[in-house]
């Protein structure tokens, strides 16, 4: 084998990229398309090859991206970020489906460059054999499943491969970091959240702990049967922000063989209290390198990767202006002493290992005939038309079950079926 010290950084990277794709687990580009175009991508002015965003095809190629997880993010549908009424009527599932749809349509429209993949094996085949950028999906918050385990399963069937347990709000599954900073108690993972994590393990959906509270992180690591990911988080020891990961959690990630994908948002990686003229945190590419090396020093080089948050952040570190800058970041890590084996894990090998491990856990749970987790959230309101009381019983006594008795009935008004009186 060629000694890496005899090669330039460019030569080292070229050799590593033969087998391992540069992988990023969090890019919010589809949300920009939603906001600005309402997901209408066939207009004459939209050309994915050349845009002003952090991300476009030309930039992805220059940055040598090989595997991209696009986030199907939808905001919380409440004006109160600390709301606790999780039965509120919402369009969040509809809106998430639209984000899944537009991302898949983009991949079809630009299929010369992209291949939508459903497994770690397919991702490697798309990259190595078909010479395409492999693309899959993440959903950024369990508020986007509207309390339902069935929605998690359907998202998986549509190609989603990780779900973040919270965004910037609590939900029936878990407590968010932002709720704790806002003064709410850190309740961690709920009993329903335990069921949700185990169902995600059963189907092969990666559990993402970015955005969750400290106690939620620990609680999940106590119960999960598969390695977890932090899709876009950094090191708390360097930048003490609740969105980041404390060292004791990093040690637990090491035991779990999970991965922390370092976020590039300046507020999460800055190591100075200085601000720019707009009052925003200042950070550089070297801060990102510091966070990578800190995660590696505590959890091991097998547990770190890239989770940029590009196109979901309004400003970026100096030197990490867009997706073209991954090679520069990698060269910085090489210059600081990272070996080829460590770089190979960092750029994508670690994430692919975790993805494959989740698939294997799912396979083993299904071979063991682990049953589907059917029981939904105890606090859910099941509301039906009073007309439905007249429907036939599934079996004798079905209308005497506790589930049936917990229903709420809404009286019919008017003449909904147009029947003659």
CATH, residue 283: 3.20.20.140
Residues 206 and 271 in one domain: yes
Residues 211 and 266 in one domain: yes
The pLDDT > 90 percentage for the chain reads 94
In this structure, how many other beta carbons lie within 10 angstroms of the beta carbon of residue 375?
10
Residue 174 pairs with which residues in a beta bridge?
189
Whether 143 sits among the annotated catalytic residues: the reply is no
Annotated catalytic residue within 28, 56, 287, 290: 28
Same domain flag for 307 and 409: no
Active site residue 232: yes
Q: Are residues 91 and 237 in the same domain?
A: yes
Q: Which is catalytic among the residues 56, 287, 309, 322? A: 309
pLDDT for res 418: 66
Residues 408, 259 within the same domain = no
332 lies in the same domain as 397: no
Q: Is residue 195 part of a domain?
A: yes
Lowest-confidence region among 1-15, 24-38, 134-148, 343-357: 1-15
Domain that holds residue 128: 4-367
DSSP structure class, residue 38: T
Q: Exactly one of 54, 167, 241, 294 is catalytic; which is it?
A: 167
Write the pLDDT tens digit of every residue in 229-272: 999 999 999 999 999 999 999 999 999 999 999 999 999 999 99
Nearest to 173 by CA among 139, 130, 220, 127: 220
129 alpha carbon, distance to own chain's centre: 26
Look at residue 352 and tell me if it is in a domain: yes
222 has catalytic annotation = no
Helix or strand (DSSP H, E) at 345: none
Task: State the Cα angle at 394 between 392 and 398, rounded to 5°.
Answer: 95
Burial of 186 (0-12, 13-18, 19+ CB in 10 A): middle
Q: State yes or no: is 211 an active-site residue.
A: yes
Pull the structure tokens for residue 129. 């054999």
Query: Annotated catalytic, 49?
Result: no
Determine which helix (DSSP H) or strand (DSSP E) holds 93, and give its type and residue range.
helix 92-109
Q: Is residue 372 part of a domain?
A: no
Q: Does the pLDDT of residue 415 top 70, yes or no?
A: no
Whether residue 288 is found in the same domain as residue 395: no
26 is catalytic: yes
Do 46 and 135 lie in one domain? The reply is: yes
Distance CA 113, CA 131 (A): 8
Closest CA to 216 of 258, 260, 170, 261: 170
Distance between CA atoms of 84 and 76, rounded to whole angstroms?
A: 12
pLDDT given for residue 81 in this prediction = 87
* Gyration radius of the chain's alpha carbons: 23
Indicate the average pLDDT of the chain: 96
Distance CA 74, CA 94 (A): 10
Q: Which of 53-67, 108-122, 251-265, 399-413 comes out lowest in average pLDDT?
A: 399-413
* Judgement on whether residues 20 and 65 belong to the same structural domain of the protein: yes
Residue 294: partners with Cβ closer than 8 Å, 6 or more residues away: 235, 237, 238
Catalytic residue among 54, 143, 232, 294: 232
Domain membership of residue 298 (yes or no) is yes
The answer to whether 30 touches 101, Cβ cutoff 8 Å, is no
**What is the distance between the terminal CA atoms of the chain, rounded to a whole angstrom?**
88
Domain count within the chain: 2
Q: Are residues 363 and 403 in the same domain?
A: no
Residue 380 in domain: no
Taking residues 392-408, report their average pLDDT: 94
Give the model confidence (pLDDT) of 194-234 as tens digits: 999 999 999 999 999 999 999 999 999 999 999 999 999 99
The pLDDT, as a whole number, for residue 1 is: 43
Confidence of residue 91 (pLDDT cuts 50, 70, 90): very high
Asked about 38 being catalytic, the answer comes back as: no
Active site residue: 26, 54, 143, 291, which one? 26
* pLDDT for the residue numbered 412: 79
| Residue 397 within any structural domain of the chain | yes
Q: How confident is the model at residue 417 (pLDDT cuts 50, 70, 90)?
A: low
Asked if residue 172 lies in contact with residue 188, where contact means CB atoms within 8 angstroms, the answer is: no
Q: Residue 262: inside a domain, yes or no?
A: yes
CA angle, corner 167, sides to 179 and 94, nearest 5? 130
Residue 154 in any domain: the answer is: yes
Tell whether 276 and 411 lie within a shared domain. Answer: no
Q: Which of 211, 241, 291, 294 is catalytic?
A: 211
Residues 28, 71 contacting (CB under 8 angstroms): yes
> CA-to-CA distance for 123 and 118, rounded, in angstroms?
8
Measured from the Cβ of residue 214, the count of other Cβ atoms closer than 10 Å reads 18
**Exposed/middle/buried for 154, CB within 10 Å: 0-12, 13-18, 19+?**
middle
Query: Same structural domain for residues 167 and 258?
Result: yes
Q: Which of 24, 56, 115, 140 is catalytic?
A: 140
What integer is the mean pLDDT of 158-162? 98
3, pLDDT greater than 60? no
């Amino acid at each position: 084998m060629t000694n890496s010290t005899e090669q330039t950084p460019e030569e080292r990277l070229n050799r590593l990229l033969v087998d391992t794709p540069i992988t990023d687990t969090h890019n919010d580009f589809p949300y920009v398309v939603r906001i600005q175009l309402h997901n209408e991508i066939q207009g004459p002015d939209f050309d994915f090859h050349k845009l002003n965003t952090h991300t476009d095809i030309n930039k992805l190629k220059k940055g040598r991206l090989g595997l991209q997880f696009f986030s199907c993010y939808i905001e919380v549908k409440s004006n109160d970020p600390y709301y606790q009424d999780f039965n509120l009527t919402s369009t969040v599932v509809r809106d998430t489906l639209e984000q899944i749809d537009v991302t898949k349509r983009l991949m079809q429209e630009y299929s010369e460059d992209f291949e939508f993949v459903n497994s770690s094996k397919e991702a490697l085949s798309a990259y190595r054999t078909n010479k395409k950028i492999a693309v899959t999906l993440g959903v950024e918050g369990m508020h986007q499943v509207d309390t339902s385990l069935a929605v998690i399963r359907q998202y998986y069937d549509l190609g989603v491969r990780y779900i973040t347990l919270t965004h910037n709000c609590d939900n029936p599954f878990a407590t968010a970091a932002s709720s704790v900073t806002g003064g709410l108690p850190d309740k961690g993972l709920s009993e329903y959240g335990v069921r949700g994590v185990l169902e995600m393990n059963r189907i092969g959906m990666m559990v993402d702990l970015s955005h969750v509270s400290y106690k939620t992180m620990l609680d999940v690591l106590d119960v999960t049967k598969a390695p977890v990911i932090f899709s876009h988080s950094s090191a708390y020891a360097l930048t003490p922000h609740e969105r980041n990961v404390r060292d004791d959690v990093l040690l637990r990630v090491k035991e779990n063989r999970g991965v922390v994908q370092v976020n590039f948002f300046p507020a999460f990686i800055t190591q100075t209290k200085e601000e720019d003229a707009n009052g925003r945190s200042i950070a550089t590419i070297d801060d990102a390198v510091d966070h990578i090396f800190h995660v590696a020093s505590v959890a091991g080089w097998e547990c770190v990767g890239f989770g940029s948050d590009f196109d979901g952040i309004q400003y970026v570190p100096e030197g990490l202006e867009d997706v073209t800058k991954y090679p520069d970041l990698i060269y910085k890590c090489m210059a600081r002493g990272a070996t080829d084996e460590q770089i190979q894990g960092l750029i994508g090998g670690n994430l692919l290992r975790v993805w494959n491990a989740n698939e294997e856990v799912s396979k083993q749970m299904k071979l063991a005939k682990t049953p589907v987790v059917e029981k939904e959230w105890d606090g859910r309101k099941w509301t039906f038309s009073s007309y439905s009381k007249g429907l036939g019983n599934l079996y004798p006594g079905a209308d005497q079950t506790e589930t049936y008795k917990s229903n709420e009935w809404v009286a019919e008004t008017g003449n909904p079926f147009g029947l003659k009186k």
